[in-house]
Structure 1
Amino acid sequence: MKRGWSAGALLGWAEVLAASAFSLLAPGCARARPPEVSPAVLADAARGVVAVATAAEDGADHVTLCSGALVAPNLVLTARHCVTRALTSTPACDAEGHSHNGVHLSADVDPGRITIYVGRRVRPDVDTPVARAERTLHPKGRVLCDADVAFLVLDRPVVGARVLPMRLHASVEAGDWVVPVGFGGGPNNIVGLRVARNDSRVLAIGPTANVRTGAVLGPREFEVDQATCRGDSGGPALDARTGEVVGVVSRGGSCLASGNHVYTRVDAYARLAAHAFVTARRVAAANLARREVERADEARAAR
């Protein structure tokens, strides 16, 4: 299938809006044991997780790889620290969501340096991106505590991935089972390899400090037991029963450790999500109109 814009590119928005409406109404529930998720269902859900590559701004031939969830045809949910210049790699946060080591971020990375890749294994140095970021949307402020979330509005709809619904009506609860997905490669930390786990449990919901694991959670954060690895940042936690995105990887401990793996809740940013959906839809329409004008000009020039 050719990349680019077509009238059908906007049709995917009908499914997105329907899924969002359902998400706002559907009741949530906690589970006492891991639900049975078939490999086929798990693989299908994982197809909605994309790789987010940010090129170095100093001209060096280097990219930083993160993960993200495709939540609309041209909209990716990821972590803010993946798309903003960082002043520290170790943000210190308290249970109120305040920073204990000053500001964490400077300016946003130029969206044009952020590219999107799909597939089970990605290599940005040789693979061709399926889309490029056009705009970045995130909470105000320059700290990551309780606010490590961002949306990327893309220059075209993503081909080769499925759109994932977000659960914006309610938070996860302690004891809920989730499916973390990301390109950190799992316990072997093979960066660029997409791994999904269906046996991860929510340990705690902020605001709190988990003495056993050392995790400090702000009011908009939660902790899971399964490790997150380098490359998983920005990747989603999916509700193991419904497949809805409930959180975004923010920070974590060792790639092999259990606990102290912190996610930002997406329901806490429902208003930002609504703004992102509107913006992405407008950008999609504008890009489609521009492309149609370009095609008309090309047709006239060819006569």
Structure 2
Amino acid sequence: MMKRAVALGLVLLLAGAGAAAADSGKRMIVGGTLASATEAPWAVAITNTDASRASKRWCSGVLVAPNKVLTAAHCAARATSSYGVIQGRADLNDREVGQFSKVTALWVHPAYSGTTNHNDFAVLTLAKPMTGVPVMPLETSAKADRKGAVPVVYGWGDTHETGPEDTLQKLAVPDLGDSTCLGIKGYRENGYSAAANVCAGYLDGRADACQGDSGGPLVLNGRLLALVSWGNGCAQAGYAGVYAEVAPAAKTLMDQVR
């Protein structure tokens, strides 16, 4: 099992109960389609000076206030000053479009566990607010996580060569219901919780979020249902994607983004 963040050129596999950091190989949202910055203006790419890629792509995230970005806690293990946020740039190599801001503060959910992966949330405070950009409202109802719903995930992560590098992708992923992920022994042992996660994707392995998509938004009915968190590789048959569900943590998160 792997967390879906970018690491420095290696894959750290689980040793016991914790999901691990991911590789920086040539993959993005697997099986997705290109998305424009116009259709998803609240989707942001998170960069880090430690990243080995020329684009410095590290994780994905979502603008939840003009100066606040919500992403995965496991993306937030570096020094605050090493992070940057790009908005409005679907192709990260196109430096002529979009806006960039450095990060001045980094908050990690106090109940985040690197062992169970619960509360996989972090908030980045921007030095320069992204003015004139729509923000994504948080889902506050746990009932939104329901089997049969089809939310859409966005991110700049790896593609398994199903799409161009460092380019915003989107993918509709069916909500499979908590019982599906709880029925996967490895997921159950590594902390999947109906109270903390959304189980979504394709068990036939056709498509999935991947490394570099960590912290990217899973959107349903115009609200932030969850964030990309972890899974067993990318688009592996028999394994869904695991997302950090927003509603159970919404009150704590809203206190940070006001």
Per the alignment, residue 254 of structure 2 pairs with: 274
In structure 2, runs of 5+ residues without a counterpart are 1-32, 202-206
1:224 is aligned to 2:208: no
Q: What amino acid does structure 2 have at the position aligned with 1:192? A: D
> What is the rounded CA distance, in whole Å, between the counterparts of 2:120 and 2:62 in structure 1?
14
1:46 is aligned to 2:51: no
Highest relative contact order (Cα 8 Å, sep 6+), 1 or 2?
A: 2
Whose Rg is larger? 1
> What is the rounded CA distance, in whole Å, between the counterparts of 1:69 and 1:142 in structure 2?
19
* Secondary structure of the structure 2 residue equivalent to 1:156: coil
- Correspondent of 1:246 among 215, 225, 234: 225
> What is the rounded CA distance, in whole Å, between the counterparts of 1:185 and 1:208 in structure 2?
23
Number of residue equivalences: 210
- Correspondent of 1:158 among 112, 127, 130: 130
**Deviating runs (4+, > 3 A) in structure 1?**
41-45, 59-64, 123-129
TM-score, length basis structure 2: 0.70
Return the structure number with greater helix share.
1
* Secondary structure of the structure 2 residue equivalent to 1:215: helix
Instruction: Tell me: CA distance 1:148–1:273, structure 2 relative to 1, closer, same or farther (3 Å).
Output: same
> What is the rounded CA distance, in whole Å, between the counterparts of 1:124 and 1:80 in structure 2?
28
Q: What amino acid does structure 2 have at the position aligned with 1:83? A: A
> What is the rounded CA distance, in whole Å, between the counterparts of 1:206 and 1:275 in structure 2?
31
Contact 2:157–2:166 (8 Å) recurs in 1: yes
Per the alignment, residue 102 of structure 2 pairs with: 132
Pairwise CA RMSD: 3.3
Contact 2:73–2:112 (8 Å) recurs in 1: no
* Secondary structure of the structure 2 residue equivalent to 1:166: coil
1:233 positional shift: 0.8
> What is the rounded CA distance, in whole Å, between the counterparts of 1:159 and 1:151 in structure 2?
18
Contact 2:145–2:177 (8 Å) recurs in 1: no
1:271 positional shift: 2.4
Contact 2:48–2:56 (8 Å) recurs in 1: yes
* Secondary structure of the structure 1 residue equivalent to 2:109: coil
Per the alignment, residue 167 of structure 1 pairs with: 139
Per the alignment, residue 116 of structure 1 pairs with: 85
| Bigger Cα displacement from structure 2, 146-155 vs 135-144 | 135-144
1:189 positional shift: 5.8
1:205 is aligned to 2:186: no
1:79 positional shift: 0.4
> What is the rounded CA distance, in whole Å, between the counterparts of 1:276 and 1:161 in structure 2?
19
TM-score, length basis structure 1: 0.60
* Secondary structure of the structure 1 residue equivalent to 2:74: helix
